[in-house]
Structure 1
Amino acid sequence: MASLRLFLCFFLFTASSVNIVCSRSLQKDHIALFVFGDSVYDPGNNNYIDTIARANYYPYGETFFKHPTGRFSDGRLISDFIAEYANLPLIPPYLQPGNHEFTTGVNFASAGAGALSETNQGFVRALAVIDLKTQLSYFKKVAKQLRQELGDAEAMAFLSKAVYLINAGSSDYVLPFTSNSTVFQYFSKQQYVGMVIGNLTETIKEIHKEGGRKFGFRNFGSMGCIPLLKALVPGNTTGSCLEQVNELAELHNAALTEALEEMEIKLVQFKYSMHHLNIYLSELTKNPGRFATQPQCQVIKENEAYSNVDVCTDFVLQGFKEVNKACCGSGPYRGISSCGGRTGVTEYELCSDPTQYFYFDSSHASDKANKQIAQLMWSGPPNITGPYNLKAFFQL
């Protein structure tokens, strides 16, 4: 059986198949990062499918990459920063063609994807995306190839050490309010959230069957307060939020926490990290110029999850001048999704300094905001990110 250390293989996607190309550069303590989800984590997979849900044009990517990459931001995504903190290179899109090493992981995320297969795909073809179920099928192909090349034991060892970032559900909750959906005529909010959590839970369990053990999530903040949805509130001159979506986010957060706690009990070696984005955004809304946490060193030292991790430093993060309005877009709060002029509305406004804005476009965070969230996910204290943070996962 080939040695994991010497012969772990990486994947090359072609139009017809996924081929493995061997690499001997893997370090002994190497831990890979696999990413699933929507535009929060999509590094450019949608560049390679027939959809208008893309960000491969100016001004996306303007501040860090200096060119558009397909990321819905002026720069990097949360997953890019997590890879950096873990001493990994940028995790490549699964659909990106060419010879690319995937020994460090792979990113399956697709902008617009939902936990429900019907999200976006069921409305218009132009918004066709790679739903979570399809992303899971891609991952299973990767896992199968690993087993064929490494043998079951070494493949399982590799996959069990890896970290799995998942962000799914936001598209499911936002789309019904930005389209002519009648979904809530047939389902209550609780039933609808139950369907989203059910699909998400099933995906997690399937990844676990393939070897996944360490999963990272962030809950939802007040999604009804993103510029896109504020712009939908009639006559909104006071910054009012779309409360129906906030209700869905609260139901989702509670249901996801319950599901994760149950899986922690029932699934072998299952561990999870939950970043409480709702706390961060709530505090940032109250005090946009500064976000700080109090030191919780004693709490951390009593928590086995953090026993070997130095996270006793309190966070003080420089805030933003603008947390209600997007840097790029048009209309109220720049909430019309016109950034770049490629989505039907050709005229748009662009701020001069995205670092002063939490939102880069109508529904996506700026490079600076993504960095702050990633810092809190990586080494935030238990009241912000727990029961593990991602730094702990990469040291397990």
Structure 2
Amino acid sequence: MANNMPSSQIHSRLRCSCSWLLLLVLHFSSSASRAAGGKVPALIVFGDSTVDPGNNNFIPTVARANFPPYGRDFDRGVATGRFSNGRLVTDFLSEAFGLPSSVPAYLDPSYTIDQLATGVSFASGGTGLDDLTANIPSVIPMSQQLEYFSEYKARLKVAKGESAANEIIAEALYIFSIGTNDFIVNYLTFPLRRAQFTPPEYVAYLVGLAEAAVRDAYGLGARKMEFTGLAPFGCIPAARTLNYDDPDECNEEYNRLAVRFNAALQEALRRLNAELVGARVVYAETYSVLSDIVANPSDYGFENVAQGCCGTGLIETSVLCGLDEPLTCEDADKYVFFDSVHPSEQTYRILADHILNTALRVFL
């Protein structure tokens, strides 16, 4: 059928349609921009060496990584105190939320409170949920990390004003990554806790401490929180080396403890979500991802899963890696672990991507 509408009327309608289309595009572009930026103004981190960017450099402990070969693939090859060859999971998460590409250590005096306003880590390598775990290597317990957070809030209010500081605290994303050391540094190594608790009882004790830490953070203003479950720590090179019952293989007894802890932690987080008004606490599952990497390393571009890049790769971590620097591997990206306990930057990158696409999707 022929269209007999005058050309002037057609042009008028086209202009009208284009105008509406432009308004719709501008509206959705503005919405997308607001969703991508400003939803999470800061990343605030509690935990152990998996998320410690260098706090241990400033306390009297041997649990440090502020010397080569640590940090060799970090910006400018600087050993910052991160227990890896490069960045940590939280560094990748920070960047993904449009924040700085690395999360600074709270105790590092080179950072101003203005720099810490977009992210800060209170984590300490070697610590745990159990204060006894922190006492063994003389590092920062969770209770002290929360005290530092309270101090940080006060400093933030002075620097930014109360209203802006309260908004940062309320909208920030809080990451907890802790618990492995309670088993490998404490319960499985020293007799005190084993005399007090059966394995299931100790798991329940630790999960109670995890729940208390989340409640304390909530009391200080935290609302968006993520608690990372334990990885299969029976597969770290050090655990393989010391697995006398099945040499060089993953210690499945250790892994069963991680599975038990993760199940109890998820139940605790469900309770917290039901009880803490206005809070959202998500569980980040890493056990299956690292298990799959260990089982199928070539699928992820890895060549070595049983040894760390540093030294012999069997038992070296922290100061022992520094002593064996000449033996460090050439390409850490081919190794799942950088030392006998801690993942390489490439492994952290994979874990961060997984966490972003699962647990943290609700905050993106």
User: Of 262, 272, 281, which residue of structure 2 is paired with 1:272?
Assistant: 281
Q: CA deviation at 1:191?
A: 1.4
User: Of 91, 113, 134, which residue of structure 1 is paired with 2:127?
Assistant: 113
**1:91 aligned onto 2:70:** no
Whole-angstrom distance in 2 between the partners of 1:48 and 1:285: 34
String of CA shifts for 1:134-157, please: whole Å, max 9, x gaps.
000110112234456667655433
User: Of 347, 352, 358, which residue of structure 2 is paired with 1:374?
Assistant: 352
Equivalent pairs: percent with the same residue?
35
Whole-angstrom distance in 1 between the partners of 2:188 and 2:284: 27
Residue aligned with 2:206, SS: helix
| Cα distance, 1:51–1:368 mapped onto 2, change above 3 Å | same
**1:252 aligned onto 2:261:** yes
**1:173 aligned onto 2:183:** yes
User: Of 212, 220, 241, which residue of structure 2 is paired with 1:202?
Assistant: 212
> What residue identity is the alignment partner of 1:353?
D
User: Of 337, 347, 355, which residue of structure 1 is paired with 2:316?
Assistant: 337
CA RMSD in angstroms, aligned pairs only: 2.3
Structure 2 length-normalised TM? 0.82
Aligned to 2:360: 390
Q: CA deviation at 1:186?
A: 2.1
**1:261 aligned onto 2:270:** yes
Greater helix share, structure number:
2
Residue aligned with 1:184, SS: helix
User: Of 319, 324, 334, which residue of structure 1 is paired with 2:306?
Assistant: 324
User: Of 326, 329, 337, which residue of structure 2 is paired with 1:359?
Assistant: 337
> What residue identity is the alignment partner of 2:215?
K
Aligned to 1:134: 144
Residue aligned with 1:166, SS: strand
CA contact (8 A) 1:338 1:347 kept: no
Q: CA deviation at 1:195?
A: 1.7
Residue aligned with 1:68, SS: coil
Whole-angstrom distance in 1 between the partners of 2:301 and 2:206: 32
| Cα distance, 1:29–1:265 mapped onto 2, change above 3 Å | closer
Q: Greater CA radius of gyration, 1 or 2?
A: 2
Q: CA deviation at 1:76?
A: 0.5
String of CA shifts for 1:81-128, please: whole Å, max 9, x gaps.
11111111122110001352221021100000111111141x3xxx21
Q: What pairs up with 1:1-396 in 2 under 5 angstroms? A: 31-65=41-75, 66-89=77-100, 90-100=102-112, 101-121=115-135, 123=136, 127-147=137-157, 154-176=164-186, 179-234=189-244, 236-237=246-247, 239-290=248-299, 318-330=300-312, 334-338=313-317, 341=320, 349-379=327-357, 385=358, 389-393=359-363, 395=364
String of CA shifts for 1:166-188, please: whole Å, max 9, x gaps.
11111101113664434212211
Q: CA deviation at 1:220?
A: 1.6
Structure 1 residues without counterparts, runs of 5 or longer: 1-26, 291-317, 380-384
How many pairs are equivalent? 324
| Cα distance, 1:348–1:180 mapped onto 2, change above 3 Å | farther
Whole-angstrom distance in 1 between the partners of 2:317 and 2:283: 32
| Cα distance, 1:29–1:336 mapped onto 2, change above 3 Å | closer
Q: CA deviation at 1:234?
A: 2.0
Q: CA deviation at 1:372?
A: 0.7
Residue aligned with 2:307, SS: coil
Whole-angstrom distance in 1 between the partners of 2:128 and 2:295: 30
> What residue identity is the alignment partner of 1:91?
V
CA contact (8 A) 2:83 2:318 kept: no
Q: CA deviation at 1:342?
A: 6.2
| Cα distance, 1:42–1:99 mapped onto 2, change above 3 Å | closer
CA contact (8 A) 1:40 1:72 kept: yes
Whole-angstrom distance in 2 between the partners of 1:321 and 1:272: 36
Aligned to 1:298: none
CA contact (8 A) 2:131 2:142 kept: yes
Whole-angstrom distance in 1 between the partners of 2:40 and 2:264: 33
> What residue identity is the alignment partner of 2:311?
G
CA contact (8 A) 2:128 2:182 kept: yes
Whole-angstrom distance in 2 between the partners of 1:329 and 1:176: 24
